[in-house]
Amino acid sequence: MDIHRVEAFRDNYIFVLYDGNQGQAAVVDPGDAEPVLATLDRLGATLTTILNTHHHSDHVGGNRQLLDRFPAAWVYGGAEDQGRIPGQTHCLSAGDRITVGQRTAEVFFVPGHTRAHIAYYFAPAMADGWGELFCGDTLFAGGCGRLFEGTPQQMVESLSQLRQLPDRTRVWCAHEYTLNNLKFAITVDAANPTLQTRLEQVQAARALNQPTVPADLGLEKQTNPFLRWDSTALQRAVGGTSAVQTFARLRGKKDLF
Ligand code: ZN
Ligand code: FE
């Protein structure tokens, strides 16, 4: 399975999963159909599957136009998003498994950004290979999504599930927010040397307009403040005494950053 990163709007990423043997493709969160169709045409691929993480228009806005061209495609989304995802054909819940080409994805229910948000995790195809996580607007490189429909408690539980995945997991998040996220992170975790190094690397990459997605989950665990609510340095920085309170204070500060 090849993963093609497609840029859309100002800072969205759409991902095309292409199985060259079968000439078939899936797409994750097609907010805009045009760049997806261009990619499919370049590959000569047939779209069989749309994977949506949540109902926001920058993630589902291209569904209808893609279905016009590929009417047989299945459209997956969270069970709680029924009625909010255009063309949805399948409702997914925690623990469901779906087949995409030769690979299988496990579904995680990760409410917080929205009340229905799900994520898709493809376990490594080979021992000691990399897993692939498509997490929409839940986990970002260096950050996490805003809480539009969920509570800090829910988001901590959602991010806890993602944090339990293996270090060797590529994080395919839906926005290029990394530089701003890390600039915030350094304000609350200034003494973290791994974070300092990462911020420098991301600054250099973005200066050259290079993407920072996919991120590496092992590195996220060491540098993303929204996965580090149990770090004493972070708890001290925001005056939090529990995981949820620390997370809530971090999220509140980031909203104002
Ligand atoms: Zn969103
Ligand atoms: Fe989004």
Predicted confidence pLDDT, tens digits, the chain (257 residues): 999 999 999 999 999 999 999 999 999 999 999 999 999 999 999 999 999 999 999 999 999 999 999 999 999 999 999 999 999 999 999 999 999 999 999 999 999 999 999 999 999 998 889 999 999 999 999 999 999 999 999 999 999 999 999 999 999 999 999 999 999 999 999 999 999 999 999 999 999 999 999 999 999 999 999 999 999 999 999 999 999 999 999 999 999 99
The answer to whether 170 touches 215, Cβ cutoff 8 Å, is: yes
What local confidence, expressed as pLDDT, does residue 128 receive?
85
The span from the CA of 257 to the CA of 255, in Å, is 6
**For the CA of 150, the nearest ligand:** 1
Identify the DSSP state of 208. Answer: T
Give the distance, in angstroms, between the CA of residue 158 and the centroid of all CA atoms in the same chain. 12
- HEC string for 20-74: CCCCEEEEECCCCHHHHHHHHHHHCCEEEEEECCCCCHHHHCCHHHHHHHCCCCE
Ligand lying nearest the CA atom of residue 54: 1
CA of residue 57 to ligand 1 center, whole Å: 8
- How many distinct structural domains can be found in the chain? 1
Question: What spacing in Å lies between the alpha carbon of 78 and ligand 1's midpoint?
Answer: 14
Q: CATH number for the domain including 204?
A: 3.60.15.10
In angstroms, what is the span from residue 112 Cα to ligand 1's centroid? 10
**What domain range is 39 assigned to?**
2-255
Residue 167 DSSP SS3: coil
Proximal ligand: closest to the CA of 173: 2
Q: Separation of 137 CA from ligand 2 center, angstroms?
A: 6
Q: How far is the CA of 146 from the centre of ligand 1 (A)?
A: 8
Residue 44 CB-density burial (10 A; 0-12 exposed, 13-18 middle, 19+ buried): exposed
State residue 78's pLDDT score.
98
* Positions marked active-site: 54, 56, 58-59, 113, 137, 175
Task: Name the strand (E) or helix (H) holding 214.
Answer: none
Q: What is the pLDDT of residue 35?
A: 98
DSSP 8-state code for residue 175? B
Cα(217)–Cα(198) distance, integer angstroms: 13
pTM of the model: 0.98
Ligand 2 center from residue 127 Cα (angstroms): 32
Q: Is 216 exposed, middle or buried (0-12, 13-18, 19+ CB in 10 A)?
A: middle
pLDDT for res 127: 84
